[in-house]
Copies of this chain bind each other. A is one copy, B any other.
Amino acid sequence: MNDSIRVLVLGTGQMGSGIARLVLQKHGLQLAGLYARRRQREGMDVGRVIGLDRDLGIHVETNLENVLDRVRPHVAIQATCSTVADAVKEISVLLGHGVHVISIAEEMAFPRYRSPTIADTLEALARQHSAAVLGTGINPGFVLDFLIITLTGVCADVQAINAQRVNDLAPYGPSVLATQGVGLTPEDFGKGIESGTVVGHIGFPESIHMIASALGWTIDRIEEERKPIISNVFRETPFVVVQPGQVAGCLHRAVAYRGDKTVVTLNHPQQIHPQLEGVETGDVIEITGTPNLRLAGTPEIPGGEGTCALAVNMIPRVLNAKPGLYSMADLPIPAAVLGDVRKLLAKGVVKTSHG
């Protein structure tokens, strides 16, 4: 068997740490390095940073070029940011080194919509350096787009799509909680929306355009609405405390139109501990078409855990792909990688020059 696939993880938050822990568990993968944007993490032992109770003998690095030159990864998983504008610099450096990239930045799920020029640049760079780039994650990237598209595959016609994801933000870190306004007063939530510190869900336009692109629809406009979910009870997580009357999360909704016709409606109320007020979490997809379809699951597919797993499980798909920029709708389906990851690779896809 070949040497292990060397994986570089970018990001030391909840997601980066979870991904790194999972890489350590998989046969055929080697956690080659961990990159942090935060300078103060330089030199810390990776094991401690990702929440293990032991040292791993490898250290967090904060200079991306240096870590690439030293560990020569085959693939990198980016968990440092949410927007394409913020993600593009690291991705470009990775591609420039011929490293395949899996990004969980929300906007990278379908970068071509908001950032067509950057998408073209990444596509060209990927081809130039024989690497593939994929944006993935539970949402966007799976529940409210990929699964919907998959289900339409059994339809002769589709009139409208309605989907809802009711989730629990309690497992998330402080940066995610802040972007949903968790812990704010209703007044500060409104100010946060205006100033852009409270953003709600990032990814509705990406999901909608991924769906539209797959189905052959042109979308004329998307309307988004964000409302505070005001708690009637005390709620808390390790990172935030919500008093009654304060904001437990954000109810974010997007509606896409073709002409005057509503074709996609996505609802995504995100809050910490919804069950404390009797709200059941879950995912629901409804397709009005030929045939009508409805698929639902309770509780919701866990966002954090699921995103980490998806990012790692897509490694063989990305390594097998032709060079280029991909969304989840462009590659073969993910599958839990339970055996040796290397057995899933087409011959020759792990470049020996990296060895």
Contacts and interface: CB of A to CB of B under 8 A. Distances in A.
Interface of A: 22, 25, 138, 142, 146-147, 149-150, 152-158, 214-217, 283, 289-291, 293-298, 301-302, 305-306, 308-310, 312-314, 328-340, 343-344
* Secondary structure call for the A interface: mixed
Nearest to A336: B152
A154 to B, nearest CB: 4
A305 to B, nearest CB: 5
Contacts of A330: 332
Contacts of A156: 22, 25, 305, 308-309, 312, 336
A309 B289 CA distance: 12
B293 A154 contact: no
Given A291-B306, A298-B294, A339-B216, A333 B150 contact: yes
Nearest to A287: B336
Contacts of A343: 216
Contact of A158 (B150, B283, B338): B338
B338 A329 contact: no
14 contacts: A22-B156, A149-B335, A150-B150, A150-B334, A153-B334, A154-B313, A156-B308, A157-B336, A157-B338, A158-B336, A158-B338, A216-B337, A331-B332, A332-B332
| 6 closest residue pairs by CB, A with B | A216-B339, A153-B334, A152-B336, A154-B306, A214-B335, A295-B297
Given A301-B293, A306-B291, A153 B336 contact: yes
Contacts of A149: 333, 335
A138 B154 contact: yes
Nearest to A309: B156
A274 to B, nearest CB: 17
B216 A309 contact: no
Contacts of A153: 142, 309-310, 313-314, 333-336
A214 B344 CA distance: 8
A298 B292 CA distance: 10
A177 to B, nearest CB: 21
A146 B310 CA distance: 16
Given A147-B150, A150-B147, A295-B296, A329 B336 contact: no
B215 A309 contact: no
B297 A301 contact: no
